[in-house]
Amino acid sequence: MSAGVASPECPFNQVYLSLLDHYGPQHWWPGDTAFEVMVGAILTQNTAWRNVEAAINNLKRADLLAADGIINCPDAELAQLLRPAGYFNIKTTRLKNLCMLLHNAGFKRLQEMPTRELRQQLLAVNGVGPETADAILLYAFQRPVFVIDAYTRRIFSRFGLVSGNEDYEALRARFEGALDATAAIYNEYHALIVQHAKQACRVKQECDRCILCPDCEYVTK
């Protein structure tokens, strides 16, 4: 797989290649359909993925993993199905808001929109912030948008490539400007970042397990 970058010497590319060599392809995001990916992007806010899976399985068992089914489900009933994902009342509202966009606009029409316009449509949904919108764009619509999350800020600020305090849009532009990549590469890169943050570059770092250590500013300091 080509790194798809503007320069082979790009440090963002070098990190990507190191992570890919160490962990291998991740084939991520979990989800059988684009709609399931979108539901997961809402439910994963402030919770672990295993909790999201439990909530999605509840929706599947109730035969409600569809936009119209979710819209028509009473809030109290839907909230109970989403309970494993935490903040279930808030996520009930946010998920219904997203489903209303899909219902009103139609998935096919959204799919045909330019990325910038589609992103604006997603961000206009109450409860969908930049990270959630970009996850939906990348994983459900296969658009070349780099997703910035807490793991990205942690790893690359420790590595010395970013401060970690940048505005979301500024940091996203930094990555996209450094990497001339496809949606497939951004997908793989984000998945590798998540894996590395869980395996080594944790909140309480485990530098002895980190394959990036030789070049990491955090270690040399």
Q: Which tens digits make up the pLDDT trace of 195-220?
A: 999 999 999 988 998 999 887 887 77
Average pLDDT over residues 178-190: 91
Q: What is the pLDDT of residues 90-102, one digit of tens each?
A: 999 999 999 999 9
Every domain of the chain and the residues it spans: 11-27+146-220, 34-139
Rounded to whole angstroms, the Cα distance separating 145 from 36 reads 19
- 7 pLDDT band, cuts 50/70/90, is low
Task: Return mean pLDDT, the chain.
Answer: 93
Q: Tell me the pLDDT tens digit for each residue of 43-79.
A: 999 999 999 999 999 999 999 999 999 999 999 999 9
Q: Does domain 11-27+146-220 have CATH number 1.10.1670.10?
A: yes
CATH topology of domain 34-139: Endonuclease III; domain 1 (1.10.340)
**CB–CB of 169/130 below 8 Å?**
yes
